[in-house]
């Protein structure tokens, strides 16, 4: 058996986690040969519910589940974590404005960023799920000056999967036959699900669907799908969110399928003219535990407008929390080329190459 990896999960007694943890423990996320240690984190008042979930996990006797630890604080829960899934966040309550939500969550993600900085494995891969996910990821990453901004991502794979599923259904294909859909921007109703590069059964998707349907039905359906699910179920998506988390992390760690493009919200390096330093969803491919933005795609005037609208929303969200963002790590969020191109990683025991190594000009890793 390989050495287990440590996976920290916040909001671990919530309904997304209740779907997710059993998938992780069965090897769906990290692979069928990778043992896992689950470090489950909840607020103190949910610890009893969390104990119940831990009992159920234990009762499944998963061969790959090495250890479960329960924590009522992120400082303990993030210790040594190789992967951190930040699911818990404060949902919007009645009468709350988006600004209030951003501010309340800013506190939560500031603390989580600091705790990751101080306690997680130096190569930790972070996925933020709790909304507003992109800006929460930005807050966490800006509060983790010793980690690379490239280690912080937010979930748009749910939107990506929705786009695949709904396009497959509309064209009569299977979702496995749908390739290269892209979700640009924010995990919010301004996101842009782009089919200009997608194909279905090897042929361009836009040749197989009505343009009117694409613009007037498909795009708004994907953009508002989360809200529609809340209306229908009385609570937000859980099983599909859990599946998207599994897909996002599996691809990041184990690589995307050959020829496949997926969507991940990552810190912008200025690709496609998107403002540097915001957490924006791009088309990426992953290999060797790293992601790279797919470059050189042609962007139509229509797409440009949509991409700019969702970029603007993220800039507005950033402006709302700007006073809470530490200034010192800002430069590293603007200048990513060193950490992205260096390919430097740290050793599995958490140490890195010698400080004077000619290849290492920064302690930041991707
Ligand atoms: C979703 O897309 O399903 C969720 O992000 C919706 C929500 O607000 O919880």
What pLDDT is stored for residue 39 in this prediction? 98
- For residue 296, the CA-to-ligand 1 centroid distance in Å is 31
What pLDDT is stored for residue 282 in this prediction? 97
Nearest residue (CA) to ligand 1, atom 9: 236
365, burial (CB in 10 Å: exposed 0-12, middle 13-18, buried 19+): buried
Residue with tokens 């800039």: 315
Ligand 1 atom nearest to 240, measured from its CA: 3
Average pLDDT of span 29-53: 98
Nearest residue (CA) to ligand 1, atom 4: 226
Average pLDDT of span 184-208: 97
196 is catalytic: no
For residue range 248-272, what is the model confidence (pLDDT) as tens digits?
Answer: 999 999 999 988 999 999 999 999 9
Average pLDDT of span 5-22: 98
Ligand 1 atom nearest to 241, measured from its CA: 3
Query: Is residue 347's pLDDT more than 70?
Result: no
What pLDDT is stored for residue 199 in this prediction? 96
CA dist., res. 282 & res. 320, Å (int): 23
**1 or 53: which carries more pLDDT confidence?**
53
Ligand 1 atom nearest to 229, measured from its CA: 3
pLDDT band at 328 (very low <50, low <70, confident <90, very high): confident
What pLDDT is stored for residue 336 in this prediction? 63
Ligand 1 atom nearest to 133, measured from its CA: 5
- For residue 264, the CA-to-ligand 1 centroid distance in Å is 16
CA dist., res. 227 & res. 220, Å (int): 11
Residues with C-beta less than 6 Å from any ligand 1 atom = 131, 158, 226, 229, 236-237
- For residue 122, the CA-to-ligand 1 centroid distance in Å is 30
CA dist., res. 201 & res. 180, Å (int): 11
Rounded to the nearest integer, the mean pLDDT of the chain is 90
Query: Is residue 339's pLDDT more than 80?
Result: no
Question: Rounded to the nearest 10 degrees, how much is the dihedral formed by the CA atoms of 329, 281, 270, 84?
Answer: 30
CA dist., res. 142 & res. 249, Å (int): 21
Query: Is residue 109's pLDDT more than 90?
Result: yes
What pLDDT is stored for residue 335 in this prediction? 67
Catalytic residue among 71, 83, 187, 197, which?
187
For residue range 122-160, what is the model confidence (pLDDT) as tens digits?
Answer: 999 999 999 999 999 999 999 999 999 999 999 999 999
- For residue 44, the CA-to-ligand 1 centroid distance in Å is 24
| Residues above pLDDT 70, as percent of the chain | 91
Mutate to test the pocket of ligand 1, among 102, 130, 220, 230 (most ligand atoms within 8 A of CB): 230
For residue range 263-315, what is the model confidence (pLDDT) as tens digits?
Answer: 999 999 999 999 999 999 999 999 989 999 999 999 999 999 999 999 999 99
CB 52 within 8 A of CB 91: no
Domains of the chain: 5-154 (3.40.50.720), 157-315 (3.90.110.10)
What pLDDT is stored for residue 348 in this prediction? 40
- For residue 227, the CA-to-ligand 1 centroid distance in Å is 6
For residue range 222-242, what is the model confidence (pLDDT) as tens digits?
Answer: 999 999 999 999 889 999 999
What pLDDT is stored for residue 324 in this prediction? 86
Closest CA to 159 of 129, 120, 135, 136: 129
């Amino acid at each position: 058996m390989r050495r287990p990896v440590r996976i920290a999960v916040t909001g671990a007694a919530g309904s997304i986690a209740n779907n997710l943890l059993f998938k992780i423990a069965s090897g769906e996320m990290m692979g069928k040969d990778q043992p896992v240690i689950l470090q489950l984190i909840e607020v103190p008042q949910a610890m009893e519910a969390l104990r119940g979930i831990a009992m159920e996990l234990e009762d499944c006797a998963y061969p790959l589940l090495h250890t479960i630890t329960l924590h009522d604080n992120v400082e303990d829960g993030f210790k040594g974590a190789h992967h951190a899934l930040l699911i818990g966040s404060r949902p919007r309550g009645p009468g709350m404005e988006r600004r209030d939500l951003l501010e309340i969550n800013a506190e939560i993600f500031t603390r989580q960023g600091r705790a990751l900085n101080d306690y997680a494995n130096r190569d930790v891969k972070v996925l933020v799920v709790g909304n507003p996910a992109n800006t929460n990821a930005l807050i966490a990453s800006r509060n983790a000056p010793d980690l690379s901004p490239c280690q912080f991502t937010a979930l748009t794979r749910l939107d990506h999967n929705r786009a695949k599923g709904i396009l497959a259904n509309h064209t009569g294909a299977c979702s496995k036959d749908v390739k290269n859909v892209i979700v640009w921007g924010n995990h919010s109703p301004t996101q842009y699900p782009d089919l200009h590069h997608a194909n279905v059964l090897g042929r361009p998707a836009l040749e197989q669907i009505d343009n009117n349907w694409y613009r007037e039905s498909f795009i708004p359906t994907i953009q508002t799908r989360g809200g529609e699910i809340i209306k229908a179920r009385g609570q937000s998506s859980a099983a599909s969110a859990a599946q998207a988390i599994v897909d996002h992390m599996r691809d990041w760690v184990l690589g995307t399928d050959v020829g496949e493009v997926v969507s991940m919200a990552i810190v912008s390096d200025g690709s496609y003219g998107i403002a540097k330093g915001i957490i924006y969803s791009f088309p990426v491919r992953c290999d060797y535990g790293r992601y790279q933005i797919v470059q050189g795609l042609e962007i139509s005037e229509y797409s440009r407008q949509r991409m700019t609208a969702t970029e603007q929303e993220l800039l507005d969200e950033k402006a709302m929390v700007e006073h809470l963002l530490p200034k010192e790590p800002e430069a590293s969020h603007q200048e990513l080329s060193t950490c992205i191109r260096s390919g430097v990683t740290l050793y599995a025991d958490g140490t890195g190459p010698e400080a004077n190594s000619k290849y290492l000009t920064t302690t930041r890793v991707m």
